[in-house]
Chain A
Amino acid sequence: MAGCGKERFEDMLHAYELGMLPPNERRELEHHLLECSYCLESVKSFEETASHLKYERSIRERIDVLAGECDKRVVTDRRKPVWWSESKTWRRFAPALVLASVCLLLILRPWNIGIQTTEEVLAHNNVLAVMYLQNLAEPDDPERLGDIATNLLITDLSESAYLQVVSSQRLYDILKLLGREGDRGVQPDVASEVAARARAKWMLSGSILQTEPRLIIATQLFDVKTGVVVGSQRIVGEPEEDIFALVDGLTIAIKHDLPLPSQALTEPDPYVSNVTTSSREAYRLLIEGKEYAYMHYLREAADCFERALEHDSTLAQAYYGLADVRQDTSYLAKALQYIDNVSQVEKHYIWATHAFATRDDSRGIELLETIVRRYPDEKEAYLRLGDAWSILGDVDSAASCYREAIRIDPLFKNAYNSLAYTYDRLDQTDSAIAALDKYIALAPNEPNPYDSRGEIYARHGRIDEAIQSFKQALEIKPDFYPSFTNLGLMYLFKGDYEGADSYFRESLAMDARPNSRLRLALVSMRSGRFGQALQILQDGIVADRLENEEPEQFDGHLMKFVLRAAIYAERGEFSRALAEEELFLKLCVKDSVRRAACSPSAQIWLLAEGGKSSEAKDELERLKSRLEEADAPMNEYELALGFLARVEGDFTLALEHFERAASARSNFYEYFILAEAYLNAGRMADAIQRFEDLRSQYTYDRAMLGHWSVKIHYYLGVAYEETGRIDDAVGQYETYLDILKDADPGLPAASDAVHRLTRLRNR
């Protein structure tokens, strides 16, 4: 066999063997290996050698010595290369540096997994930076016409397959790096530095000269390298002609000015209003919503998106924005309905989000990687890739993606936020706090960094520090909703139920939605006042229905049924629990976006507990078939098998299944089930370790488990008692019973705790 014929892949083989390739390149190469016998055989034959290079200690030591002999600088010198010298005007570029940057534009793509089409090759060569169009007619620009025109122009030009347009976000980031955050009217030398940093070949600048009685926009197109004006345009709109039509005309004119292939002038060119909106007001609100979302002002962002929809009910980006800021996938269905009216890159984002929501994770990742292939500086895509890998449990890949996002924009505060949570998952709490400190340094006047820090503290039992952080967030923004609810949770865990309740009621007043109503039941659930909790949840269900035609769109509504089921189960009323669970499932599957994520393992458990084992087994088989057909992970099936084994009293088998089912989604519920299983199987040390871990987590997930999260103390008491740690056992029983001092009578675990405590005290 002559060879692979694809040099690029052959060059990557050794990096692959050493484990150096980033996940997307590794994936691409492995796809190639599946189809190229030559490369596959080559890797197989070198596998043993590569293993020795990676793992054999004496070889690694030898490599270090050899590297040291070669003036090793790698691990000590971490300065970034300086791209540009300080003083330049747009006419005095150092051609070599510009040329180098253009060459590096072609070669140095840390996450570029290959340019697959001729058009993409051309697009990557043809990079245009569109600077902010100043509104000279109205310098204050109350209608934000400058932002609107700039964003529309970027969107419209980006639809070309032969052009890559630097996003407004990217330009904003570069201005921030230059210490010119928020600058609108930049001087030519600054503008060209920005364009050069963005690795643009051309730069477009311009202004709005007149708004009434007709719109007039003037632009100039420069070659970044030479500073030569490539084209000028002056577009005069007809009276009443809107900005969208003007941008359409301007796009065509600019494309004519640019030295693009002739196909660029005949490619499909949708009207910009067809990939955005035809309502100026809706678009302005969309821009504002995105700005708020970026600062984590989620309520304000949601408000803008909702107001945008009042002007244009088909605005897919607004639905998508709502799905994001409300963490509510019900809006995705609407976004998908109108997806034909968005730009290519936004389509990919929406499809990717839908893929993740329906648990088609591979597809979601593919779509995001398509974005970064086409737009290598799209830091948001890297951020979302990191989030996807994080949810899937591949923390290593997640960290890589966040680092890449930070490499693109060293001031990308959201990436530091996500990196912090990643470090936290790696149990590197100090690194997590350090990343958050960086986030705070970048955004000292924003509440979210303090809120995030509070959450990290809370996850590690540092509840007082968590409270302090949440309060700092609220000092900055007194109505910062996440910190409001987080503070309520902290007071809940501290036993200050009045304090907790007041925060939950206040948050309901701030945002009267199903999730807020759900929290009203947390105090009752935790303190064992189940009758009261059931009533609050029922009232919430009714209120949700009155407020929304389709309340099942909201997770907060569905969770009320789940919690009612859990309460009935705790009381031993399995028929009622089953009824609630079945209502939950019925509502769940009505939603096409959520349907794939609905899972009946709890229903199967309740059927078995209620003596309906044959029906339980039927549901089990249906679940298995469904998961196999979709080739979905089987952990939900394992969970169901575990429940059945537990009901039958086979705790060893139950534990095996629960261990297989355990999820990497930081799932408190499944972790609790597993800990319980260790206890039932007599593996006290494992049970203690997990319950102690659960006990130190002051999180929303734990609060949502209501009485179960309190039962941790009871279970710990039992485990301590079994292992002879009597004082510890007494302490846990006392804590448990103290929390339940006002509980409804007759709770089995509480009665047992009383008996055990009495027995231990009488010893």
Chain B
Amino acid sequence: MDLNEIYTRAREDLKCERELFDHLTDSFGLFVRQRVRNREDCEEIVQEALGAIARSFKTISIETSFAAWAYRILENKLRDYYRRKQRRAGREVALEEASEASGSWVPNPQLIHNLRTCLDRLSKANPKYAQILSAHLEGSTVEEICEVLKMSKNAVYLVLSRARKALRACLDEEENC
């Protein structure tokens, strides 16, 4: 996808403009959900960012890349959100703590069951996956995990990537059973 090209066309063409903003809504939503668990807050942040982009994308001259410019706007809106969040809590809190405290994620019982089955299966073929995951969930950084498992960071990412593929295949299989 050539976002610069879509952006250039979107400045003149309404259909392309809609395509551009649909894409941004999709991607921004994903990025923000990685950091903020509360769904309402996520939507608000995304809407603020899209609003800022909509107000200026036709008039501003973007010298580098549209993606970089748009992403910077989203980052600024996220920072505004963090500031508000921290002050409302009355003290400085870590960002992850602030966002987790007001999570709104809903568990899926069927997925949980299938996931347990697949993780068991996977751990036999890819034992390092559980180790990496467990360490990460307990708060170890990637660097710490690399040091103790004597792996490079790319090797860690590769383990995760392969596990993901296997997990996905297994979950598809369980779903079709």
Contacts and interface: CB of A to CB of B under 8 A. Distances in A.
Are A and B physically bound partners?
yes
Interface of A: 10-22, 26-27, 30-31, 33-37, 40, 43-44, 46-49, 51-56, 58-60, 62-64, 66-70, 72-75, 77-78, 80-81, 104, 107-110, 361-362, 392-396, 400, 403-404, 407, 425-427, 628-629, 631-635, 659-660, 662-664, 666, 671, 674, 686, 689-690, 693
Contact of A362 (B75, B93, B120, B160): B75
Given A67-B133, A67-B135, A395-B95, A407 B143 contact: yes
B136 A52 contact: no
Given A31-B67, A55-B105, A659 B26 contact: no
A703 to B, nearest CB: 21
Contacts of B67: 31, 34-35
B27 A393 contact: no
A659 B67 CA distance: 31
A597 to B, nearest CB: 16
Given A15-B156, A66-B123, A78-B144, 12 more contacts: A12-B157, A18-B133, A43-B30, A48-B111, A52-B108, A67-B135, A69-B123, A74-B138, A107-B153, A394-B82, A633-B79, A633-B80
Contacts of A22: 141-142
Interface of B is mostly: helix
A37 B1 contact: yes
A403 B143 contact: yes
Contact of B95 (A69, A108, A394, A427): A394
Interface in B62-119: 67-68, 70-73, 75-76, 79-80, 82-84, 86-88, 90-96, 103, 105, 107-108, 111-112, 115-116, 119
B8 interface: no
A210 to B, nearest CB: 47
A679 to B, nearest CB: 15
Contact of A664 (B3, B68, B82): B82
B148 interface: yes
B134 A53 contact: no
Contacts of A109: 153
B76 to A, nearest CB: 6
B76 A631 contact: yes
Contact of A662 (B31, B33, B88, B148): B88
B52 interface: yes
Contacts of A75: 135, 138, 140
B149 interface: yes
Contacts of B160: 11, 14-15, 18, 20
Nearest to B37: A55
B150 interface: yes
Contacts of B111: 48-49, 52
A37 B94 CA distance: 32
A52 B171 CA distance: 13
B136 to A, nearest CB: 5
B27 A40 contact: yes
A400 B141 contact: yes
B72 A362 contact: yes
A44 B103 CA distance: 19
B107 to A, nearest CB: 5
Contacts of B76: 361-362, 631-633
14 contacts: A30-B71, A33-B30, A49-B168, A59-B119, A74-B135, A81-B150, A107-B154, A362-B72, A393-B86, A631-B56, A631-B76, A633-B79, A662-B86, A664-B87
A659 B88 contact: yes
A427 B161 contact: no
A120 to B, nearest CB: 17
A109 B157 CA distance: 13
Contact of A72 (B68, B88, B131): B131
Interface residues on B, range: 35 or more
A693 B91 contact: yes
A4 to B, nearest CB: 11
B158 interface: yes
Nearest to A428: B94
Given A34-B71, A671-B87, A58 B112 contact: yes
B87 A662 contact: yes
Given A19-B34, A47-B30, A52-B112, A70 B56 contact: no
B16 interface: no
B143 A404 contact: yes
Contacts of A67: 130-131, 133-135
Nearest to A21: B142
Given A46-B168, A393-B82, A403-B141, A53 B107 contact: no
Contacts of A674: 87
A33 B82 contact: no
B145 interface: yes
Nearest to A666: B92
A49 B165 CA distance: 12
Nearest to B87: A662
Contacts of A64: 134, 137
Contacts of A361: 76, 79
